[in-house]
Structure 1
Amino acid sequence: MKNDIAYANGDFIPGAADYPDRWADAARAFRESEAAIGRARLNTAYGEHDREKFDLFHPSGRPEGLVVFVHGGYWHKFDRSYWSHFARGLTHCGFAVAMPSYPLAPDVRITEITRAIARAVQKAATYVQGPIFLTGHSAGGHLVARMVCRDVAVAEDVRGRFKHVVPISPLSDLRPFLETSMNDSLGLDAAEAIVESPITHESLRIPATVWVGAEERPAFLDQARWLAERWHRDLRIAPGRHHFDILDDLEHPDSPIVRSILGA
């Protein structure tokens, strides 16, 4: 299909096939260690679907607020179990981190995934007081951007706690996916592609910063730029980072991306 190569990240990243197993191993070790010391609340349901669960990681003391991290995988792959270790930098800074799984295509449409993430954010907010920061990677970047679009139903008391949204390598315009082979799984039509594209919506008056790796595919650099320009928000380009290793800095509390998520 016309746009397949434009969004084929793994074809252009050395050792790409090794990343999922590496992430899963690191995530498992982090979950086990945090659970052993009582800082992980695992498998909390936020809806009726089997995949509507999140893990919540706590800092060593009382949380200063909540970060919700939403994983990627083009809306049809992965779950929260691959990403747990990326909470490390944020919990070290004193924040609780919720990491939800969500139903995947082709079982559900992207519109339903957006609604699931809204439910996840609202449920996680009941466990942690204070400000809420939203971040997510790739398709997860799309989903957190959707949380601050006016058409998404998030309870006003929760939305009022939103302090910053940081889409990382986000997919902000879904219309190019109409001409990809993966749309056999996604099932997008023209109408849904428009409605589910953050760039077709006005954002709430909530600070936002868009991140992308300097070494990412041109399509992802475009997607990030389109969102930043449409919403009149800052665009940060991480030098030397590609679509996968841009996440590595989330493990380090002093990294620019962690400071950015927390509005520092």
Structure 2
Amino acid sequence: MPHPPRIAIIGGGPAGLTAALILHRGGHRVSVYEGESSGQQRTQGGTLDLHEDSGQVALQRAGLLEAFRAVARHEGQEARVGDPWSGAITAGGFGPEGSMDKPEIDRGDLRQLLLDALPADAVQWGHCLSAMEPADAGRHSLRFANGVQAEADIVIGADGAWSKVRAALSACQPLPTGITFFEGWIAQPAADIAAMVGQGSLFCFGGEEALFVQRNSGDRFCVYAALKRPSDWLDAQITQQGMRA
């Protein structure tokens, strides 16, 4: 294996970019391949809490801990529980004021912090991995949907539940748990909704249904509706609504 080895990271989400930045700071040659056309192609989902003994350790190694602390929301750690029948809200705490045990940050903000710290050419956008195969001298051949081919000495899979990289290590495939989440957003929440949610998250569990609401930056709310239903029922509903499965 050449020194330094050529390292390919499949997936440009928070995990893949954090790994890339840590390796880059260590002097390694790293290329990140991401299927999205740019960092602004879509919203990145709701807010993340990064704990001081895990996510913050990774950001410290990446040299971004102070930058993270400057934009993270300590108040976002507040958790409330709603009663699905009475509507009563029970407010929870979030540790001593000023503590940094697990503050929240928008996924998009975290991703941008990481992108800004990497060289401009470190991320290859529009590269969706189609297959990974063995190559000469222990290397790995990468084929992308856009027709590009590349080789790497080390491949790191950060490409999510349907990872193409995982297939090189295991025949295991994701299986439905029977619980499906639907994501929605409230760009300008009404005052009564904002008062219910508070500064962090609101959780409401009602048997086989649940609702989770997260306050994000800019006072936008990310709403997750979770349903426990058979797969065939969900497939029929999705098809009827013209949604993508």
- TM exceeding 0.5: no
Q: Which structure features the higher share of strand residues?
A: 2
Give the TM-score taking structure 2 as reference length: 0.24
Higher RCO structure, 1 or 2 (CA under 8 Å, sep 6+): 2
Give the TM-score taking structure 1 as reference length: 0.23
Q: Which structure features the higher share of helix residues?
A: 1
User: Bigger radius of gyration, 1 or 2?
Assistant: 2
